[in-house]
Amino acid sequence: MPDLSFFPINRSTIQCLIYILKPGLAERYERVKQSLTDDESRCGRKPGSVFLLPVSKTFGIEALEEAVKCGMRTFGENYVQEGCEKIEYFKKMHPELAITWRFIGHLQSNKTRPVAEHFDWVQTVDRLKIAQRLSEQRPADMPPLNVLIEVHISDEESKSGCQPADVPALAQAITLLPNLKLRGIMAIPAPSDNEEGKKAPLKEMHAIFLHLRDELNFDIDTLSMGMSADMAEAVECGSTMVRVGSAIFGPRDYTKKE
């Protein structure tokens, strides 16, 4: 266990640290990387053209310390306080590591400030108010915050996101904000138990991405879609970034999460 005497211990921090690292993280990480390489080859994609984002939400400091030893330098986090605490820990304990932190959870307007002050990317900008607050609250000594527009690609009331028809207007508005850099779009399609059901929303996302980039001439490079259950289909449908958590870190325990 690392020395956390400097760290502000509260209930959320304790919850973050009680995870006991299961063996096999390095092996799981290598299997996922190999699987991604195989998917790229199978689909005729250039090797390394799809970025692998390890999703470390709900996993504690021990897991991230081990992940760093395995070579991971980018992490996706869904919860604001938990993510910020991990960022502060690594700034203090491992200032030599160039770790990139990406916020991939639903972002409420009252929590934009800590995200703007800590993270390098936000993948879930779904409305202009959020984008404006992130730009206004981004510290002047930090580079522009990389953002993706979250698209509501599946007909699920529980999911957030910008409607596909509204994406170009939001993209245009974001490009006018001084402290943000629009990088592309992301989505969390509804789960499906068949291949075509998985591919349909992924194909639609790819079409939106190409429309923005090639027809509307937005300077974007990132199409974030695909997780543990649909990574292969996402690679086939043009994803440039897959977000993988459980296949790398193992099963999550949400019972200890507020």
Q: Are strands 180-186 and 241-244 parallel, antiparallel or unpaired?
A: unpaired
pLDDT computed for residue 3 by the predictor:
43
pLDDT computed for residue 21 by the predictor:
45
> Which segments within 47-199 are labelled E, that is strand?
51-54, 74-77, 100-103, 121-125, 145-150, 180-186
Residue 154 has pLDDT above 90, yes or no: no
pLDDT computed for residue 23 by the predictor:
59
Residue range 78-107, pLDDT digits in tens: 999 999 999 999 999 999 999 999 999 999
DSSP 144: P
Edge-to-edge strands, sheet with 100-103: 51-54, 241-244, 222-224, 180-186, 145-150, 121-125, 100-103, 74-77
SS3 at position 54: strand
Placement of tokens 């992924």 in the chain? 202
Q: How far is CA 27 from CA 22, 184, 208, in A?
A: 11, 31, 36
Placement of tokens 């986090």 in the chain? 77
SS3 at position 250: coil
Residue 227 has pLDDT above 80, yes or no: yes
177 in Cβ contact with 130 (< 8 Å): no
**pTM, to two decimals:** 0.88
pLDDT computed for residue 192 by the predictor:
87
How confident is the model over 49-72, as a mean pLDDT? 96
Residue 35 has pLDDT above 60, yes or no: yes
How confident is the model over 144-166, as a mean pLDDT? 91
Averaged pLDDT score across all residues of the chain: 90
pLDDT computed for residue 141 by the predictor:
97
Cβ-proximal residues to 242 (8 Å cutoff; 6+ apart), any chain: 36, 50, 51, 52, 53, 224, 225, 226, 227, 231, 234, 235
Placement of tokens 């009331």 in the chain? 157
Counting beta carbons within 10 angstroms of the beta carbon of residue 58, is it exposed (0 to 12), middle (13 to 18) or buried (19 or more)? Answer: buried
Cβ-proximal residues to 55 (8 Å cutoff; 6+ apart), any chain: 75, 76, 77, 78, 104, 227, 243, 244, 245, 248, 249
Q: Is the dihedral of CA 92, 94, 98, 104 positive or negative?
A: negative
Residue 257 has pLDDT above 90, yes or no: no
